[in-house]
Amino acid sequence: MTGGPPGPAPIHELRIALTVDDIDTALHFYHHALGLPVVQQWSTPEGQGYILAFGSTTLELIDRAQAELIDHIEVGQRVAGSVRLAFEVQDIEEVRQRLREAGARSLADPVHTPWGHDNARLQAPDGMQITLYRVPKDGDDKK
């Protein structure tokens, strides 16, 4: 890279497209249990999807048919893979319990990381790995 600092970023939003086998279960988990608001939804003969917001980033839930259509349009073949999602929360145990009640499986006990965060890893009903994390503020007790 040459020259001075870069100009304004041309990116206005980060959207994560998550392909799921059971969109109704995924919607229940991410919208109802995790509390992400639905900001857009669609259903066509080619597939259906929901866009859920969290902060300045969104989560796009799409079914397999919709993912195949998008991949075919953009790439010419099915290529999308999986990602791990991470959500900053105030109370890891409260959110962790709510997600487990909605079908998530705890993969490990919560830990305090070397970088100072409290983290807990779960697997959502759709197979997505989720990290819940909390960044302790000054004055918080370190557990």
Contact residues for 136 (Cβ-Cβ < 8 A; gap 6+)? 116, 117, 118, 142
pTM of the entire predicted model: 0.72
Instruction: Convert the pLDDT of each residue in 15-42 to its tens digit.
Output: 888 899 999 999 999 999 999 999 999 9
Q: Which helix (H) or strand (E) holds 85?
A: strand 85-88
Instruction: Convert the pLDDT of each residue in 50-69 to its tens digit.
Output: 999 987 777 778 888 988 88
